[in-house]
Structure 1
Amino acid sequence: MVQIFGHRGAAGTFPENTMVSFKACEKFRTDGIELDVQLTSDGEIVVIHDETINRTSNGKGYVKDFTLSQLKQFDFSNNFKEKVGFCEIPTLKEVFDWAQNNDFYINIELKNDKIPYHGLEERVINLIRQYEIEERIIISSFNHKSMFKLHLMAPDIETGVLYYRKKNEPWKLAEEFKTKAVHPNYKSITDEQIIETLNHHIAVRPYTVNDPFIMKRLIALNCTAIITDYPEIAAELVGK
């Protein structure tokens, strides 16, 4: 059955990359969540998509320039404050603590394609090892060299290459960087390419699929997973 991953949690109806958004996915009976990680100035792994906090919080500045305690002072409820109240930025450790009580898969996107966070790969792997949840983790990035580095460091942890420009043979991209999956923008991969990539034993998880008609098409193709802002809709379509 096609798996459903909540993109940054349930980002269509809850503040993205917050614990309230991840917990909503439990109610929606999804298979997993997708989230993004970066490093604070004091080396903590925090869950946030943008390199700055400008869009998603009531603060301004680069994630890398704040300590964790400073970031915890800002409200990340974004446009959902009336619905959920104050939301603090979560750490990856807090997500893993929560994940001890469920069987969710966690797709961790390393946001190291613009800012080369030194040691991000090592810190993420060490935390995964600490919690012993290797089998539930997929690590992805637009920084494909980082995925190759991860393969060398932790070949037992699944990795995936993210991309948004069309590729003639997506499975070759995965083979080049030793990943077990491709995570394309859904507009960047054809039905034929999905089938051929799956035939090469490479997982295919398109993002960000929010149109129910496109969801149905990808489900019919037996895609590995769909990454969506509206996991409640996708879960219903696959009969969860």
Structure 2
Amino acid sequence: MTTLMNYAHRGASGNYPENTMIAFERGIALGATGIETDVQMTKDGKLVLIHDEKLKRTTGVNALVADVQSEELLCLDAGSWFSPAFKDERIPTLEQLLTLAKRTQTFVNIELKNGIVQYPGLEQKVIDTVRAFGMTDQVILSSFNHYSLIECKRLAPDIPTGILYMEGLYRPWKYALSIGAAALHASHYAVLPDWVAEAAQQGVIYNVFTVNEPAEMTRLIQAGVAGIITDYPDRLTAVLSKL
């Protein structure tokens, strides 16, 4: 049995401000073997790691990521909303995370956030950046926009992709194979042991989100999933050590 991947969701976002360097660093320190993050693009084309299309929730600025220049965006306070203790945390760039991941040999699940706001050329830019770091074997590209995943496979057949979805798709492994995806990134509610087994027979793995309760982690590990995405990588570390 291969070792289950412990993905820190936006870093260790249960205890640190999501998608910040401290959340990524602490996630790794708490046992994460992978980091899950979200990539978007500033007005001047810089790849930045933030979940929401709007800056409001995590920085207080009422603007879209796509409408702000990187020089301004990278100076915003992305930590105070979570706690005053994190006042100086910033929105990181993809390069900053890849630098950390390369040094620590951590896998990176990069979610392309291009469903609501369309970022022309996002796929190519992300792939070029991953290639520049020599990390094509250390990342998986995921998205709820499956057209984007097809474009990623066209541009980089060697980089695996993961299909993000929420509901109970019928035989999703067949769909995954039809678009060249290696993984199903399913909501944990949409995962049953029989499905995991049938997908595995077809060479398709399950990476499941967002799982924070130890009992659900245990169920999914026993179901045979390949990876679990969690806000609390330390909890998953503890569950794995018991099993």
Q: TM-score, normalised by structure 1?
A: 0.96
Aligned length: 240
Question: Is it true that 1:237 corresponds to 2:236 in the alignment?
Answer: no
| 1:144 and 2:143 correspond | no
Matched, 1:98 2:109: no
Q: Give the secondary-structure state (helix, strand or coil) at the position aligned to 1:205.
A: strand
Task: Report percent identity of matched pairs.
Answer: 36
1:201 aligned to which of 198, 203, 207: 203
Are the counterparts in 2 of residues 163 and 185 from structure 1 also a CA contact under 8 Å? yes
In the alignment, the residues of structure 2 paired with residue 73 and residue 149 of structure 1 have an alpha-carbon distance, to the nearest angstrom, of 32
Question: CA deviation digits over 1:40-77, x for unaligned, max 9?
Answer: 00000000001001111122210000011111222111
CA–CA distance in 2 between the matches of 1:125 and 1:179?
16
Please tell me whether residue 153 in structure 1 is matched to residue 127 in structure 2. no
Q: Distance in 1 between matches of 2:66 and 2:241?
A: 41
Distance 2:92 2:237 in 1: 25
Is the Cα contact below 8 Å between 2:41 and 2:66 reproduced in 1?
yes
Which deviations, in whole Å up to 9, do the C-alpha atoms of 1:110-146 show, x marking residues without a partner? 0011112100000000001100011100000001111
In 2, the alpha carbon distance for the partners of 1:180 and 1:100 equals 22
User: CA deviation digits over 1:68-127, x for unaligned, max 9?
Assistant: 111122211154333333211100011112223111000000001111210000000000
71-80 vs 201-210, which deviates more?
71-80
Whether the 8 Å contact between 1:58 and 1:78 is mirrored in structure 2 is: no
Q: Which stretches of structure 1, 4 residues or longer, exceed 3 Å deviation after superposition?
A: none
RMSD value over aligned CA atoms? 1.3
Bigger CA drift: 76-85 or 201-210? 76-85
How many Å separate the matches in 1 of 2:177 and 2:168?
Answer: 17
Give the Cα–Cα distance (whole angstroms) in 2 for the partners of residues 9 and 228 of structure 1.
9
Q: How far does the alpha carbon of each residue in 1:196-227 deviate from its partner, in whole angstroms, 9 at most, with x for none?
A: 11221101001001111000011112210000
Match for residue 191 of structure 2?
189
Looking at structure 1, the residues matched to 163 and 102 of structure 2 have their Cα atoms a distance apart, in angstroms, of 27
The gaps in structure 1 that reach 5 residues or longer are: none
- Equivalence for 1:131: 133
Report the Cα distance in structure 2 between the residues aligned to 1:14 and 1:220, rounded to whole angstroms.
29
Distance 1:51 1:58 in 2: 13
